[in-house]
Structure 1
Amino acid sequence: MLSVDNLEVTFAFGADEVRAVRGVSFNVQQGESYGIVGESGSGKSTVLRAICGLAPVSGGRVTLDGVDIPAPRTPDFYRRVQMVFQDPYASLHPRHTIDSVLSEPLAIQGFDRRDERIAQALEDVGLGQGFRFRYPHQLSGGQRQRVAVARALILEPQILLLDEPTSALDASIQAEVLNLLDRLRAERGLTYVMVSHDLAVISHMCERLVVMEHGLAVEELTRADLRAHRAQTDYTRKLLKASAGYTKEDEPA
């Protein structure tokens, strides 16, 4: 359904250039949840931003159902592909009510029955009508991220790009949001591309994943490979060891 082929993203700073993504390729099937993992600065979030048009693609192709995605992205693309950002405190306008946040994409795309759609979107993410006219500062982090998910889903897209959607939340709230995303994918047949540095989250949410290091895709694994620690590269083995956390054996002699 979504194909990334030899993707390159280069940022220019005066005479200097930074190759943030270098020849990354992967394919995501319809209804699949696909993970992108790596340490901070590996380029994983930049891949998502390049797909949705927020980072400059300097080489390679991104296709949707075999058709090149146009640049700049069209309204039709955003009807099919939406993104949920990492920080629920930064992704919602502080002076807009939740009603305004959810109304705006409907107005841009020309949807009818807006009141009905907003009410249903809030119900779908477990908030309800009581949150409709609140401001973001009146919501907890988990509630804000539920609003961000509702905003992404209100256009009835086929693909969600999830950029560390729970990393800014407390552990107990993380589980609630992940379970919400799992349920919505099952109910709607959604396709996910999820970025995370947390291998436990990826193992729970994704059937397959690609590991990134310094802008490169170094290895692709299945969920079974990840859980069995069947890694082919030293970098992935180090990530797996780090994700296991501190153990007494790590103490210096």
Structure 2
Amino acid sequence: MTTATVSTENLVVTYDEFKALDDVSIDVAPGESFGLVGESGSGKSTLLRAVAGLAPVTSGKIRVHDRVLVGNRRDKAFYRDVQMVFQDPYGSLHPRQTIDRQLLEPLAIHGVADGERRILKALDEVGLGSGFRFRYPHQLSGGQRQRIAIARALILEPAILLLDEPTSALDASVQAEVLNLLEQVRRDRKLTFIMVSHDLGVVTHMCDRLAVMQNGRVVERLSSADLVAGRIGEDYTRNLMVASKGFQRKGAAA
């Protein structure tokens, strides 16, 4: 049996007596791309944030590489291994800092010496040249900003990426480009992905398995192949399929 890279066990997250997560358990295998789907408020982004140490865990366990994480505290070793890409690329980048400085910051925090090589490699990997280094976020398109956010996540050479609706703020044509980029990066680096999305077409294109969430609970677990074939046990999941426009599994356009 393959040991899970990331797992949660009976996880509960509470905000002012409201249970945002209620007894949630998932297991994500090394090198797997795992999807979390559900309507707004279902708890999928809260689960991602709990793993990252950004949501208050009331009870339950989170494990990363067989290490149990306690509360919200995460050390530097965790953040070298686990990085997150947020939904809004403009909101996640500092508007008054150059791209160069924002890529240097995580390297400085972690005491990584070969900054020049890593910056150039990261920019090249996301399809941007060195000419972008000294621009500011407002000088970039939405797709370029999200590529920078991905480059910043990759620059520490993590093993796990947490992706919170990474393309939902982008135009449809740019979404496909960014999804293809993420898929290529995962293959090249053998990364583990946990991806949140409300779009079942995106999830079935990107992910091997998925958990369907409703009201803070996992209501169904299935493979993308089962979802596409209609081998579904819950009416809620069927309704999500109907609500997801143009639902289909096929390669995104280049």
* TM-score bucket of the superposed structures, by smaller chain: over 0.9
Aligned residue runs from structure 1 range 194-233, under 5 A:
194-233=195-234
1:9-67 deviation line (CA, Å, top 9, x unaligned): 1012xxxx211010111100000000000001111000000000000011110001222
2:252 is aligned to none
Structure 1: give runs of 5+ residues left out of the alignment: 247-253
Aligned residue runs from structure 1 range 46-85, under 5 A:
46-71=46-71, 72-85=73-86
The residue type paired with residue 171 of structure 1 is A
The residue type paired with residue 40 of structure 2 is S
Aligned equivalents of 1:56, 1:70: Cα separation in 2: 11
Structure 1 contact 229–240 (Cα < 8 Å) conserved: no
Is 1:5 matched with 2:28? no
Aligned equivalents of 1:69, 1:157: Cα separation in 2: 17
Aligned equivalents of 1:74, 1:33: Cα separation in 2: 24
Normalising by structure 1, what TM-score? 0.94
CA root-mean-square deviation = 1.1
Structure 2: give runs of 5+ residues left out of the alignment: 248-254
1:240 is aligned to 241
What percentage of aligned pairs have identical amino acids?
63
2:39 is aligned to 39
Aligned equivalents of 1:204, 1:37: Cα separation in 2: 13
Structure 2 contact 201–246 (Cα < 8 Å) conserved: no
Shift in CA distance, 166/244, structure 1 to aligned 2, threshold 3 Å: closer
Measured after TM superposition, the shift of residue 70 of structure 1 is 3.8
Normalising by structure 2, what TM-score? 0.93
Aligned equivalents of 2:235, 2:122: Cα separation in 1: 44
How many aligned positions are there? 242
Q: Secondary structure at the match of 2:138?
A: helix
1:193 is aligned to 194
Measured after TM superposition, the shift of residue 240 of structure 1 is 1.2
The structure that has the greater radius of gyration is: 1
The residue type paired with residue 52 of structure 1 is A
Q: Secondary structure at the match of 2:168?
A: coil
The residue type paired with residue 61 of structure 1 is K
